[in-house]
Amino acid sequence: MSLSQAQKKAFRSIGHHLNPVVTVSENGVSENLLAELDRALNDHELIKVKLALAERDDRAAMLNELTQDSRADVVQTIGKMALLYRRNPKANPKLSNVARFENHHGRH
């Protein structure tokens, strides 16, 4: 699923205030990391991931691997941070960063 520019803009404004919930280090992608990423995407839909790798090319390759494994969309990358989104129609509105934002701002 590709996101519209309007969705990306809204998600970027939400993501600005988020702290990273998953950190990927030089160790790469493990089953535990993918399980944590999957859980975070299920709960929150929109998450910030820290790519703790020195080289930009390594970060890009790692991000590519993460998004393929998790079926998430990249909303934005800035430096070592990436904002990922994966829709979960059954997400808990109290946990979902998207639902919380929409409820708070009166959008449906």
| Sole residue written with tokens 């960063």 | 97
pLDDT of residue 101: 76
Residues 6+ apart with CB under 8 A from 103: 93
Q: What is the pLDDT of residues 82-99, one digit of tens each?
A: 999 999 999 999 999 998
Q: What is the pLDDT of residues 20-78, one digit of tens each?
A: 999 999 888 899 999 999 999 999 999 999 999 999 999 999 999 999 999 999 999 99
Whole-structure pTM over 0.75, yes or no? yes
Strand partners, 25: none
How far, CA to CA in Å, does 1 sit from each of 33, 53, 57, 71, 81? 23, 27, 24, 9, 21
pLDDT of residue 47: 98
5-104: what fold? Translation Initiation Factor IF3 (3.30.110)
d(CA 30, CA 24): 9
User: Are 11 and 3 in contact, with CB atoms under 8 Å apart?
Assistant: yes
How far, CA to CA in Å, does 74 sit from each of 4, 38, 57? 12, 14, 16
End-to-end CA distance of the chain: 20
Domain extents in the chain = 5-104
pLDDT confidence of 106, banded at 50, 70, 90?
Answer: low
